[in-house]
Every structure is written in structure tokens, then in C-alpha cells.
Structure 1
Amino acid sequence: MDFSENYICKYGREIQSAHFGGSKPQISLHTVMVYTKNKKTSMCTFSENLRHDPFAICAHLKPIAEYVKTLVSNISMVHFLSDGPSTQYKNKSLFFLIVAYISKLFTCQAIRWHYSESGHGKGAPDGIGGCLKRTADNLVAQGKDLDNFSSLIKELQENCKGISCHTVSGSEIQKIKSELSTADLRPFKGTMTIREVVWTNTSYNLLEARNLSCLTCGVQECCHYKIGTINIPHLNLSQNKNDHHPQMQSTELLPGTSRKQNKKIEVNMAEQNRIHYKDVYSSDSDSEEMTLDELRTPKIKYSISPKVNNFIVVLSSKKQSKYFIGLVLNIDRDYNYTVKFLKKIHEYKFVFPEKDDVSPISLDEVVCVLASPDLNKREQYIFNSLSDNVYIS
């Protein structure tokens, strides 16, 4: 499934100012190819609401779920296949909604959501969107006016019999957003490496994240590609289990533990499965910030008395300790410094950014004074002796 590019309503005949005007209404299209054991169906949901966020996705999936239930009375597993944009299908909000909303919508026992790699090319959902918009353009070329939402839906339902068309109201999207708030969720570290998430009705509020889809392990804990467990802490577990999975009336405890101890063990297990920032972004050479290891040097302490036009190392500790290099522009009577900061482009190479980064600092923030750097033909300042001059107390 995928969001198709919004369709712009058109007239069969229009004056020049109307043709180039920007006031024409747009329609959002969400295309889905549904595969069941004995049937495959092309479907598309239309909405005047142009949102493509996780709440809109859930609203667009509602007619799909209702249709699937007419084909399959007892759904054991649902496979979703989509691309992985971080604003739509692969983010903390959708992970939460898989557990809190989509699992209830399909009343299934397991969900496996697969994400295709970037640059995957076109698929069946793209063909559905192309067919619908090509049909609409042909109707406009024949002189028909598709100038609003209702006229577009009516004509497409009559001329595209092989595609099941449904409408989604903006109020439905807003209702889902108001009932299921995701404001306090914490992102999963390593989201961009995920290629599959798995939920089962026995895991309650947990999603298993994998860096590849595993056909061997299925919905069981994967021993091949598991990278962590996503915990959904804000979900009302008792309501989820009792209302939608009547067979789960109690929480199983680990042997020899109390309910409180069991909860702590579950949290610790989830913490151990988390991956770290470096597993996703292995290189930080483009960072403007200097790490502690880059500035750690032999223990040679220097007296700190910066002067105008000296290059200095400044410690910024608003949230965590970070180090920056700047040029002293001015010193007032109270020993407050005006510093113009540089941008790091390589291990020892720095440049002044196009937009000046000038800030006042105090003497307490100055770590040390650096030796004068070399300036190459590209106006890059090279601090060859950086590791020899800097001392971090």
C-alpha cells in the first residue's frame, strides 16, 4: 500500500487564469492491493483531508479492514507491505497505533509489517493510482468537469469497475487523533534500520523490530534479524486484552516472581534489546560538534588568558558536554567574550559558516587557547596541533 500523489480537480473547459490558479481542490488517494487466499482486490480510499500521517493511515485502513472481514471471518495474521518514510509508515506513532488501533481494527492474532528498501521501484499500488488518475484525466479531456470531491468519486466508481473506491472523512481522522494521543511516546533508537515489525496478541504492548523480514522464525522471537523490542508504555493493557482478546484474561508471571518484580524484569529485558545510536549512524565525520575523545590529550595544562583574535575551545553544557572552536572578537571589562564559532568539516579542518555564528560567553566556558591554525587555499583552518594543545580538566 502507498499514498498516491494528490489529484488536482480539473474542468473540461476553463479560462487561462483558472488553469494556472492555485485554488483548485486536491484529493488524497491511498491505494491498497489486498491479497487473500482465493482472491486479490484493488482498492483505493479518497479523502478531502490531505494529511498523510499515521492517524490518516489508520482512517484510510478502516474501509480496507471492513472489506477484508467480509472475505475472511477469522483473521489469524495480516501482512502489511509499504515503503518506509519516517513521516508516514515508519515512526513511533504508527508503532503505537499498530498495537492500540490497527490490531483491534482487523481483530487478528498477529500483524507483520514489512518495509521495502529505498529505491524499490513501482508496485501494484502505484498502478492503481496511475489507473485512477489516467481515467480521470481522460474524462476531463472528453469535456467532463471533475471540479470537486463528489464528482470525482462518482465518475471513477462508474468507469473503474475493477477498483473498489471508498471515501474517508476528515472528521474520522481527527477522531482517531483525539482518542489516541502519541505526544509522550519515545522514539525507538534504530528506527531507520527496521525492515519488519511483528506484533502478536500474546505480546500485548510489545513490538519486535527486525532489520530484515524473517520467514523462518515467523511471529516467534527471531534469532536471525532481531534488533530490539519496542515497548508501548501508554497502552491500557487491561482494556486491550479484555475487549479485543477475550481469551487473555490474566497476565502470566515469571516463575518465582511477584507482579511488580515481573514488570521490572520485562522492562529490563526491553532495555537490553535496544540498539545504540552508533549502530545506525556509524560515521559522525559530518558533525559540527567535537567529541570528548577527539579532545582528550596528554595532561599538559595551560593558563587560560584569551586575547582578541585568539582561537579558543569552548565548553557548552546545556544538556551534555560538547566542545566548539571559536575566534575571540571582543573582551569587555568583566571578562565576557564575544566569540565567532567555526564549523567542523573534517577531523582537524574548520570553516566559518556562511551565516555568522556569534555568541557571548564567560571565561568559565573557555577550556583552553589554541595555537594559530594554518589557512589553506579553500579558507579552511587546519588545527594540526589540536591534540597537543588541548587539556580537558
Structure 2
Amino acid sequence: MINKSVAFLMIFTICLSLYPNIIRANSSDDLQLISQSAILIDEKSGQVIYEKNSQEPLAPASITKIATAIYAIEKGNLNDIVTVSEEARYVDGTRVYLEPGEQVPLKKLVQGLLINSGNDAGVAIAEHLSGTLEQFVIDFNDYLKQTIGVKKTHFSNPHGLFHPEHVTTAADMAKITQYAMKNDVFREIFNTKELPWKGESWDTTIINHHLMVRDSSYEGITGGKNGFVNESGFTLVTTAEQENISLIAVVLNTMYDHQTYEDTTKLFDYGFQQFETEMIATKQFEDENNKQYTVNEDVMFTKKIGEVTNQKVLPSGKLVITGEDGRTIMTKPLTLIETEEASKKLKSEQVTAENQKETEDHLRFIVPISLVIAFLLAGVFFTQTRRL
């Protein structure tokens, strides 16, 4: 009989192997975060470095505007002139004080949306892109699912004001932000500290509401968006980059504003002090059977600082990178390179398969006919035998 301790160790090891994308060894509460939900990912590789309840659906408040901004940048023409509607003018919450009938370039609305958290800018963007808010919600959610690949997100508006069906997760918000940060226009606006704003009823300088962006209190901040409604508590998305790694931190639902910044600082300290991003320069790989593979993009992965890693190509064509302790850091599917020899082998296999299929087809036709002929001959033989 297997010793209970051995059995427990085996089960524990199997359970660990089911979570290869979380590269840390610590539990989800050892940073003592106050936020109900949080996640820290590597912006380049997308790997999860730290998480706490990151799959729990929660109300996001104004960090919704990150998604609205990248949607507008990709789906709209930033030079378009948008006419502001009555509905946009009278939306609740933070505004950039647009007036009905005011004509504003789409890019300026995106700036007002992200920098000053303008809900009126969000409604104007939505109506311009889809005609109505109702149609925008349909188009917006389809984009988030099909283009970005969110799993548990549904947005009922472009700005984040509370709605019972307006929810996301820390993991989905990190994925949305990672996608958005690939766009140069978004990156520029996301990290803008202040911007002169001249409108029909408001001539001012709008200032970024995210404190870490505004005051540069943490080294390497590259952007951020904060949010708050009563039902969501305080929420915060922040991006930062230092010498060896770029990070995205998302924290959801704290009671006080300062707690989101404290948790974000803890996450960044943890990530920058212990992890680094590495790139595999080669574009070609070989498995143990000498099959050649390639990849169309740089292979980025996150590891502990100074850690020696090992890479191997499986017969299935997947690149597997493991750490010093044998844990799987990442897997990536590769594309098989068809060499002349491999091509000949493939054609030979195809010919063999075709011949086999042809033989099977002949048998399907010949066997029934043979049986019928045999049956008829047996009948004739039986008839002649009776006559004798």
C-alpha cells in the first residue's frame, strides 16, 4: 500500500503542474494586498507573475475607458469630426463639459476620455462609431471577445458607470491593457500627464487623474487609468517599465483610493525585484527527430532574475521552456518547416494513403458482387444436384 505522505506529495505535484502560466511559487495572499482582486502580468510575454482572485467578475468603473479608447483608435478614424449629442452632454459623472452640437475630433475625445475620464466623451465616441449606445454595446463586446479574447467581461456602456451586467475581471483587464499597449497612439495618450483643452464651454488644462502617472512617484510608469463608483469601490490599472521587464498591474475594489496605489506599488516592487523578461533570438528550432520548426514572432518569456532555463521542442511541435526547478515557464506552438526530404516523405505517405483508400474502395465494390455470384453459383449447383 502507498504511504499516505507519498500519495499526498504525488497529488500535490500533479496539481502544481496544472498551473504552468503562474511562474511564482508564493500564495495569493503573501503580498497582503487589500484589493479584492488583483493581477500582475508581464506586458511582453503575457505571463502571470502574481494573482489574487483574478478571475472574479467585478464592477470596473472608469477603467472601462481603456477598452473604449483602444476600440475607438482601431475602429474609428481619429481625424473624424464628431458632433456631440444631447445624451452625451447630460451623462452623469466626470465630464470634459462637451456641449450639444459641439464638433470635436475623435482623437481629442479619446484624450478627454483617458486623461480626464470624460463620460460625455465616452458617449460621444460610442454614438459616432455605432450610431446608438445600444448598437455600440453589441459591437464593443463582440470586439472584446473576438479581437482581444476576454473570457468573463461584458460591458454595458463605454464609460463604466454602474450597471448590474457591466463586469470584468482583473485577468481580462490585464489582457485588454496588454493588447492596447501595442498601439503607439494609445500608449502616448495613456501616459499623458496634462493636456491643454479648449472647448465651447471649457478652456482649461486637463490633468491625468492617475496619481502615479501625474507625479512620477514610481520609477518607470508608462501609463494608467483609475476608476470609482460606489458599487465597485476604487479600481486601478497601471503600466510600468524598468530595465529588464515591462509590467501591467490591475487592482479591483478597495475601500479607499490610496489603497489601490499601495497595492500597485507592492505588485510592482515584487515584479521588478524578482523577475525579468527574456527573448529567444533564434527563429528556427529543431526537435530530437531533426524536424525543423519556425515561429513568426519573437518568443518572449518571463523568468526569475538570473535563472537558467532550458528549452525543448516536443514531437507535437510545441516549444517548452522550463526553469531550474523543472517547472514549465511557457509553451508555444511552432510551425513545421517542410524540407525537401520531409516533403517527399509526406507525398509518399499521401500516395500510400491514397492507394490504401483505392484498395478499400475496390474491396467494398468487389466483395458484395463476389458474394452475390457465389450465392448464384451455389443455387445453380444445388438445383442441378436435385435433378440428378
Fold conserved between structures, TM > 0.5: no
Q: Which has the higher contact order (CA 8 A, sep 6+)?
A: 2
Q: Which has the higher helix share?
A: 2
> Which TM-score band (shorter chain)?
under 0.3
Considering only CA atoms, is the larger Rg found in Structure 1 or Structure 2? 2
TM-score, normalised by the number of residues in structure 1: 0.25
